[in-house]
Structure 1
Amino acid sequence: MITKGERTSARLVESMLELIQARGYSGTGLNTVVEHSGAPKGSLYFHFPEGKEALGERAVELAADQFRTLFAETVGDAASPGELLRRVVDVLIGLLADSDFQLGCPVSVVALEMGAHSERLRTACAAAFESWIGPVTDYLVGRGHPRPTARTLATTVVSGLEGAMIVSRAQRDVEALRSAAQVFGDLLDQPPAGIAKENS
């Protein structure tokens, strides 16, 4: 059973995540987080005595969990890697469109703003990206790719989608994401090298 304190802590983290997406890490003050969350005054330092960095770290971890959940839920009935990717991109496009291009990836936001200033937050962002690259790698290995190739593809796709999100947000147009889905989808749908050689 979830306790009242756990619910309050979760609300603070969720608010921090939403505000980072909309305003950036530097533009998000702790008073704003408390106000946005509706949590009791004084609760933030009770649950996060180490302050903003600790809350930001938890927000990055929540973002990583959300994407992993999206990936896991989409894998099940996707007919091909390309279809899986296109479904994930459709969700990202919906996020941008529904927010009028105000919400981006909070992990990339924190990495860009704080990666050179906070080792704690840089490490959290690195772990978040790895938590996405790892499952994609495992998925591609399951589709017949050698692990080194799968790792390279997974890293390229995750990095490419992050860049496409930033470009789409800046241009207020989802063309960059749609282009990434098409190019990476076609790439992922090519048969693994070993299978291609066997069929040649």
Structure 2
Amino acid sequence: MIGTKGAQTSARLVESMLELIQARGYSGTGLNTVVEHARAPKGSLYFHFPEGKEALGEKAVELAAERFRALVVESALEPGSPGDVVRRVIGVLDGMLADSDFELGCPVSVVTLEMGAQSERLRDACANAFGSWIDPLAEYLAAQGHPAAAARTLATAVVSTVEGAMILSRAQRSTEPLRCAADVIAALLDRPLTGERLA
């Protein structure tokens, strides 16, 4: 029971860190605020994360990566074209932004921009997160008939485009950039496969 309670406290701390990074950024998130937000006992943070804020931030990035990867995988399992898959994923992101009044962005891009040059640990966590989104999308596109190299190129371009659209949408307080990204990506992915493929 103690182990279970401890695991629950650790999970709440990670969840709170993730939510606060989305709303305030990594640098704007203090550890005391995380503990209060998680309603965790004082001292629990360093008990579960003795290496401090970077360790907690790393786990938050991993949690965000896991959730978005699951979204990509689940969307790919539903019927429809590759463009439909991407539209479903972007639709979820569109809803998240609108529902939060454009306060919640992608925590992985936030941590990358803030800490990528300062913390190798967090930069690696973010690189792994992006990779965990590109990989299943590349596998899906390869299964749709694209050569492996071309599938990975397309998947990388899709993730890059969506991340950029998320940033623009937050800045403009409009989901139009995301909708534009969805239209362009869907048109690209749904065009018939021909001999002229990406190398």
TM-score, normalization by structure 2? 0.96
Could you tell me which residue of structure 2 aligns to residue 42 of structure 1?
A: 43
Structure 1 residues 70-79 or 133-142, which shifts more? 70-79
CA contact (8 A) 1:16 1:56 kept: yes
Q: CA deviation at 1:192?
A: 2.7
* Number of residue equivalences: 196
CA contact (8 A) 1:144 1:195 kept: no
CA contact (8 A) 1:93 1:177 kept: yes
The answer to whether structure 1 residue 142 and structure 2 residue 152 are counterparts is no
Could you tell me which residue of structure 1 aligns to residue 9 of structure 2?
A: 8
Q: CA deviation at 1:195?
A: 9.6
Could you tell me which residue of structure 2 aligns to residue 69 of structure 1?
A: 70
Q: Distance in 1 between matches of 2:161 and 2:196?
A: 26
Q: Distance in 2 between matches of 1:81 and 1:115?
A: 31
- Superposed CA RMSD in Å reads 1.4
Q: Distance in 2 between matches of 1:193 and 1:10?
A: 48
The answer to whether structure 1 residue 190 and structure 2 residue 191 are counterparts is yes
Q: Which runs of 4+ in 1 moved over 3 A?
A: 193-196
Could you tell me which residue of structure 2 aligns to residue 97 of structure 1?
A: 98
Deviations 1:132-160 (A, max 9, x none): 00000000000000011001100000000
Deviations 1:81-127 (A, max 9, x none): 00010011110000000000000000000000000000000000000
Q: Distance in 2 between matches of 1:49 and 1:21?
A: 23
Letter in 1 for 2:8: R
Q: Distance in 2 between matches of 1:25 and 1:116?
A: 13
Could you tell me which residue of structure 1 aligns to residue 32 of structure 2?
A: 31
Q: CA deviation at 1:165?
A: 0.1
Q: CA deviation at 1:75?
A: 1.4
Q: Distance in 2 between matches of 1:172 and 1:70?
A: 24
Paired-residue identity, %: 71
Deviations 1:21-53 (A, max 9, x none): 000000000000000000111000000000000
TM-score, normalization by structure 1? 0.95
Q: Distance in 1 between matches of 2:137 and 2:193?
A: 15
Q: Distance in 2 between matches of 1:33 and 1:122?
A: 21
Q: CA deviation at 1:194?
A: 4.6
The answer to whether structure 1 residue 164 and structure 2 residue 169 are counterparts is no
Could you tell me which residue of structure 2 aligns to residue 108 of structure 1?
A: 109
Could you tell me which residue of structure 2 aligns to residue 22 of structure 1?
A: 23
Q: Distance in 1 between matches of 2:79 and 2:43?
A: 46
Q: CA deviation at 1:181?
A: 0.1
Three-state SS of the structure 2 residue aligned to 1:193 is coil
Would the alpha carbon gap of residues 170 and 89 (structure 1) be closer, same or farther in structure 2, given more than 3 Å must change?
Answer: same
Q: CA deviation at 1:71?
A: 1.2
Structure 1 gap segments, 5+ residues each: none
Q: Distance in 2 between matches of 1:57 and 1:23?
A: 16
Q: Distance in 2 between matches of 1:4 and 1:76?
A: 35
Letter in 1 for 2:81: S
Q: CA deviation at 1:77?
A: 1.6
